[in-house]
Amino acid sequence: MFKEIYSQCLKCKNARCANNCPVKTPIPEIISLVEAGDIDAAALKLFLNNPLSAVCSVVCPHENNCYGNCVRGIKGESVAFYKIEQKVSRDFLENFKVPPIEKNNHKVAIIGAGPAGITASILLSLKGFRVTLMDAKEEIGGVLRYGIPDFRLPKEIVDTYQIILKKLGVVFKPNIFVGSTLVLDDMLHDGYEAIFVAVGTAKPNRLGLLGETLGNVHFAIDYLKCPSSYEIGKEVVVIGAGNVALDAARMATRYIPKGGRVTILNNRREMDMTGNIHEIEDAVNEGVQFRHLLQTVKISEEYIQCVEVEPIENNGTIAYEEIFEKPVKVEADTVIIAIGQGPQGAVISDTTVEKTKRGLLDVDENGMTSMSGIFAAGDIVSGPRTVVEAVAFSKKAVEQIEQYIFNKHQ
């Protein structure tokens, strides 16, 4: 059924697609297996390389990774491998059978059930470890469930992972905020030989402007958790230019009163927006409007006060200068702020674990923190990044956790 896709693949020996995939998915090998009709082998290889392949094939910025680096794309159309990956990986999840696993009876605690936490839970379970997965929410998923809208990532995919974790013997402990009720030392005393911290970055960044606490002003990361609980007006303005801003804007189009308008306010050039190209296209197709080169300086209950921004090129780099003598009012009865996130949660307040200047956990190249037995990966280490990047670093941390525990018992 994928002949029209795999027949275009050149099976490059030094595959640019695989080399530019953060988890180094062996794309030519997968395509060869699919072409030969060995779908089961292809699916297993995808899953073992990237347990979240069913997710990444949907939400990855393919234009920056595999698809955007396909050699065929230089003179024509790239090979859309991610379409094969979506189908093969989804079918694998729905028919998942636990392989033979040699249990080793070593206990590992994982804090945070987002992309990094799910990845580590699966990989450590497959290696025989006894895993307890803890999260402040009632269900697993983190940003996959509470941050990415259903129209981008169907929630049934996330639900399937909850079933798989249970099949693998992972114990899920919901509604537990580590750092208040429990602390890291409690876990070490209870026999966990390693702790993997993957709590993400759930604290929205503020503009620090007048009007930010008004009733009509919301933060995108909060809005996306339950948009139906918000009463938005007819003039919705989203401040930001990344994927979260795009998600919030597209979600708002589904709840805005008839005759309303959703606008994204960007303080950079259109070409400098950080959101995925196809997400921008989808937003345009859904009626979202864009206003570029406007910097917000004040928010009121009726409008946003802005000034124009002028891009200035200097030695190949672009700087932006605010032109205060050119004020602009943008009508807005609902404002959604989406300018990034930072670390939140008492779990990282432990003074024995070193942090970066940004307040993120400071780890080595394999995810080990300054505290013995404590590891970390995901956004709490890198800041907000893509799902596939969280998976890639989690894989490194899992290998380090395994080595750390076994070295203790030698």
Percent of all residues in the chain with a pLDDT value above 70, rounded to a whole number: 98
CA distance 4 to 81: 11
Mean confidence (pLDDT) of the chain: 93
Q: CA-based Rg of the chain, rounded to a whole angstrom? A: 23
For 199-258, the pLDDT digits (tens) are: 988 889 999 999 999 999 999 999 999 999 999 999 999 999 999 999 999 999 999 999
- State the Cα torsion 209-215-216-217 to the nearest 10°: 40
Question: Does residue 158 or residue 355 have the better pLDDT?
Answer: 158
pLDDT at 298 over 80: yes
Mean pLDDT across 319-348: 88
- For 289, other C-beta atoms within 10 Å of its C-beta total 13
For 390, other C-beta atoms within 10 Å of its C-beta total 31
pLDDT of residue 348: 64
Instruction: Find tokens 């699966």 and name the residue.
Output: 122
More confident: 313 or 35: 35
Gap between the Cα atoms of 188 and 175, Å rounded = 20
Calculate mean pLDDT across residues 287-301: 97
Per-residue pLDDT band at 342 (split at 50, 70, 90): confident
Distance in angstroms between the alpha carbons of the first and the last residue of the chain: 51
The Cα–Cα gap between 338 and 251 comes to: 13
Buried b (16+ CB within 10 A) or exposed e, 297-311: bbbbeebbbbbbbee
Q: Is 315 left (phi over 0), alpha (psi -120 to 50) or beta?
A: left
Distance CA 201, CA 178 (A): 15
pLDDT tier for residue 260 given thresholds of 50, 70 and 90: very high
